[in-house]
Amino acid sequence: MDALIVDDLQKHFPLRSLVPWRQPRRVHAVDGVSLRVGTGETLGLVGESGCGKSTLARCVLRLIEPTHGRIFLEDEDLTALTEEALRRRRRDLQMVFQDPTASLNPRLSVAATVEEPLGLHTELTGRARRARVDEVLEEVGLGASLRDRYPHQLSGGQRQRVNIARAIATRPRLVVLDEPTSALDVSLRARVILLLAELKRRLGMTYLFISHDLSTVRYLCDRVAVMYLGVVVEQGPAAELFEHPAHPYTRALLSCIPEPDPDVVPERLVLSGEVPSPIDIPGGCRLRGRCPLAQPVCAEPVPAREIVPGHTVACHLV
């Protein structure tokens, strides 16, 4: 069964209009994205700044309301839920943010931070909650000696573990991880990735993993969706996508990652310029202004096609 289905999701942000009689222009942050995440699966959502990946995540959690489209969490349409019903469903839908410090309340101890969602979303008694807190802290590798510490007394890696503990305390159906390792140093990054992989294996966690770090995505994800300017341009199993990237954008992204091996001479597919504004999006393929392979046909709309079972690409030239 799918844990999460995103169907034709759109999120537009209207800009303030300079003159009142004109239709305000809109930022097309997410512009028709469809995704599935199977139970126990990790889907990596990659793309550069401004591609809409974080907006998509916030829509999935209904932290912001999507303009159009539907989101199903295990067959329940989240976009149709009332505020109250959504609040009851929150225990199944948790998030870990990028900045481990800013996402913790500085005035709550580790134990109080992890206990908070249990108090809000479960019927557990105080004693059962405290037992659960100890269990979760153990699961994320934080010793009981840290339970009464405050965020400022913890290292960056420990703080991110507290964030993860808080997110998994209610045993959610889906955890959205928004760049959880990008604020961390190399050795801490490795530890957090391994922790996430272990939690997935032991507890069957389902993740939507948002990152621009392709090597981390490669390590942790089962499937990957690549976003560019509000749309998914390529989607497929991680090994397949990394070994046989088909879309020029995916190939360009991969060719930008310097491999830690001086003998690897990467394919350099260089995109010209920078990501255009998501306000006036060109018709047809959104990459065509920057794509070294662009042809006249690229001005036509591009539907996603399946090139290998499970591997879809939206490009005329593939």
Token pair, residue 294, equals: 């662009």
Smallest separation, CB 271 to other proteins (Å) = 6
Note whether 216 binds other proteins by CB under 8 A.
yes
* Segment contacting other proteins by CB under 8 A, of 2-10, 95-103, 104-112, 208-216: 208-216
27 binds other proteins (CB under 8 A): no
**Is-contact 100 125, C-beta < 8 A?**
no
Q: CB 1 → other proteins: shortest distance, Å?
A: 26
Question: Where does this chain touch other proteins (CB under 8 A) — which range of 7-15, 35-43, 87-95, 251-259?
Answer: 251-259
CB-CB contact of 250 with 234 (8 Å): yes
Candidate list 63, 239, 297, 308; residue touching other proteins; CB under 8 A: 239
Residues 176 and 166 sit within 8 Å (Cβ to Cβ): no
From the list 26-34, 66-74, 110-118, 273-281, the region that binds other proteins by CB under 8 A is 273-281
Q: How far apart are CA 89 and CA 156, in angstroms?
A: 30
Contacting residue, 273, 296, 303, 309, with other proteins by CB under 8 A? 273
> Does the protein bind other proteins through residue 287 (CB under 8 A)?
no
Rg of the chain (C-alpha set): 21
Name the pairing type of β-strands 207-211 and 174-178.
parallel
- What is the three-class DSSP state of 76? strand
Minimum distance of other proteins from residue 259's CB (angstroms): 6
By CB under 8 A, is residue 19 in contact with other proteins?
no
Q: Does 215 bind other proteins (CB under 8 A)?
A: yes
Q: Does 49 bind other proteins (CB under 8 A)?
A: yes
Q: Are 10 and 69 in contact, with CB atoms under 8 Å apart?
A: yes
156-195 residues near other proteins, rule: CB under 8 A: 185-188, 190-191, 193-194
With binding defined as CB under 8 A, does residue 143 bind other proteins? no
Cα–Cα dist 64/111, whole Å: 29
Do 89 and 172 touch, CB atoms closer than 8 A?
Answer: no
Instruction: Enter the DSSP assignment of 92.
Output: G
DSSP, res 34: E
Instruction: Pick the stretch among 8-16, 78-86, 137-145, 262-270 that binds other proteins (CB under 8 A).
Output: 262-270
Distance, CA of 264 to CA of 254 (rounded, Å): 13
Chain position carrying tokens 């939507």 = 208
Residues in contact with other proteins by the rule CB under 8 A: 48-49, 155, 185-188, 190-191, 193-194, 212, 214-216, 218-219, 239, 242, 252-264, 270-271, 273-275
